[in-house]
Amino acid sequence: MLDASKFKNKFSNNKYKNCNNFRQGSIFYLENNARVDETNSTFTSNSALEGGIAYLKGDGTYLKISNVKFPFIKNTFAYYGAIVFATDGATAEISSITKIT
């Protein structure tokens, strides 16, 4: 696991809705050691062929999605990699999902 506190690309409290991409990653397309930390955001009705939220390519490329409330991902899909499609050594981490009762 990488220390996200050192990431330059930090995003929080976003609402991604109706983001659609014919090919790769409806919201994020990351490659070449790109590192993104996304916190407290929601993802609704997003789609792509590969990676419903993100397409990650290459060793050192990393996406962290954390501190989200259930259902944080609703109606988001892809033909390959429903949430994240990672290839060539890329890594994704999804954590801290809290169910609202």
17 bridge partner residues: 44
Give the integer Cα–Cα distance in Å for 23 and 45: 16
Q: What is the pTM of this model?
A: 0.85
Is the four-CA dihedral 18, 50, 37, 40 of positive or negative sign? positive
Q: Please report the pLDDT score of residue 101 as a whole number.
A: 53
Q: pLDDT for 40-69, tens place per residue?
A: 988 889 999 999 999 999 999 999 998 876
| Contact in structure between 100 and 68 (CB atoms under 8 Å) | no
Domain definitions of the chain by residue range: 4-95
